[in-house]
């Protein structure tokens, strides 16, 4: 897959089938659009292009609204490539870009910039200044400029329309089961192992402190999670703690640390990916270190039960 960070780098080609959107999460609703795009491009012998925007439009348009992402740009790229996308264009979303009318965007970027024979979109897609652009407008212009518009219906899971916002809210609320169901896979994030206060080692549960690879990435609700741990080409199981460690500290920043079962190696500066399988509990403040250790023993057992039921 070719990756472009400017429309100027993408050669104009009328034989192009494209789609556009933020595509945060690449959930099943997105994949329904992507699969349609790829299938159409193969059938008609056209190149396919996915256009996305960065940063998230709401971060730019809403003051103080820093939207955390379900997928980083790198994660999005990898997922799209796996599903057959040939070209991935990221447009820098600025207030200046947001001021373009829908018609300006269609002509300057799609018709005269990239070239287009077909546009594949979700049924309710809006774009342009004031979100004035929609499928109806594209069809009107398409009839004049000789491109067609194909719409894809909403994707439902358990009678609920899948959306990035619903997945994001479920993760924030600690409802990992719902988030993973709507996402179509287990939520994951990556980070680098850094030094910590070695408190876990003192308690008999040595942990690796994780610094997220991207500060744009959404960190799920505080709590204890059963996770798969991917380190280089190895796969392990572990317990992830996201929290402020209230048993030892009255206040402080959120710390992300993982205990890896049957593991005893120094992995500082290594990059790990954590796949969240099940949320075991919320964070608690214990009266003593012994009480915390007792709970951690239970967490270890409960985590093993989760993976035994899944056969790892």
Per CATH, 2-161 and 186-310 having the same topology is answered no
Domain 186-310 sits in CATH at 2.40.30.30
Predicted confidence at residue 247, as pLDDT, reads: 63
The tokens for 54 are: 């960065």
Dihedral (Cα; 189, 31, 278, 258), 10-degree rounding: -10
Choice among 62-66, 73-77, 206-210, 227-231 with the minimum mean pLDDT: 62-66
pLDDT digits (tens, 9 = 90+) for 168-209: 999 999 999 999 999 999 999 999 999 876 665 666 688 899
Task: State residue 204's pLDDT score.
Answer: 66
Q: Within a 10 A sphere around the Cβ of 254, how many other Cβ atoms? A: 11
- Mean pLDDT on 126-155: 93
| 2-161 CATH | 3.40.50.620
The DSSP H or E segment spanning 258 is strand 255-260
DSSP string across 270-309:
-EEEEEEEEEEE-----SSHHHHHHHHHHHHHHHHHHHHH
Beta bridge partners of 120: 150
Say whether the peptide bond before residue 302 is cis (omega within 30 degrees of 0).
no
Q: Give the residue from 188, 162, 220, 137 showing the smallest Cα distance to 31.
A: 162
- Residue closest to 145 by CA, chosen among 172, 124, 173, 114: 114
Whose tokens are 């993973």? That residue is: 180
Mean of all residue pLDDT scores within the chain: 92
Each domain of the chain, given as residue ranges in start order, spans 2-161, 186-310
- Residue environment code for 120-133, b if the CB has 16+ CB neighbours within 10 A, otherwise e: bbbeebebbeeeeb
* 82-86, 95-99, 183-187: least confident range: 95-99
pTM: 0.92
- Read off the pLDDT of residues 218-261 as tens digits, 9 standing for 90 and up: 999 999 999 999 999 999 999 999 988 766 666 778 889 999 99
**How large a percentage of the chain has pLDDT more than 90?**
77
């Amino acid at each position: 897959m070719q990756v472009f960070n400017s429309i100027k780098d993408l050669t104009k080609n009328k034989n192009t089938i494209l789609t556009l959107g933020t595509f945060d999460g690449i959930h099943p609703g997105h994949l329904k659009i992507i699969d349609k795009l790829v299938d159409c491009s193969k059938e008609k012998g056209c190149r396919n292009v996915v256009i996305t925007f960065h940063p998230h439009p709401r971060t730019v348009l809403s003051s103080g609204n820093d939207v955390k992402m379900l997928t980083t740009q790198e994660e999005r790229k990898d997922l799209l490539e796996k599903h057959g996308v040939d070209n991935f264009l990221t447009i820098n979303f600025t207030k200046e870009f947001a001021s373009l009318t829908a018609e300006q965007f269609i002509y300057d970027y799609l018709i005269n910039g990239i070239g287009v024979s077909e546009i594949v979109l979700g049924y309710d897609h809006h774009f342009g200044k004031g979100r004035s652009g929609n499928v109806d407008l594209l069809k009107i212009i398409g009839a004049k400029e000789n491109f067609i518009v194909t719409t894809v219906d909403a994707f439902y899971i358990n009678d609920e329309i899948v959306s990035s916002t619903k997945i994001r809210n479920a993760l924030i609320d600690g409802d990992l089961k719902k988030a993973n169901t709507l996402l179509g896979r287990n939520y994951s994030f990556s980070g680098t192992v850094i030094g910590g206060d070695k408190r876990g080692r003192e308690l008999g549960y040595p942990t690796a402190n994780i610094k997220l690879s991207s500060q744009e990435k959404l960190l799920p609700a505080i709590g204890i999670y059963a996770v798969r741990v991917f380190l280089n080409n190895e796969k392990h199981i572990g317990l992830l703690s996201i929290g402020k460690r209230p048993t030892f500290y009255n206040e402080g920043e959120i710390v992300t640390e993982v205990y890896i079962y049957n593991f005893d190696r120094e992995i500082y500066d290594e990059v790990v990916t954590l796949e969240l399988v099940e949320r075991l509990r919320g964070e608690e403040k214990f009266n003593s270190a012994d009480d915390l250790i007792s709970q951690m023993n239970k967490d270890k057992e409960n985590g093993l039960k989760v993976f035994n039921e899944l056969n790892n």
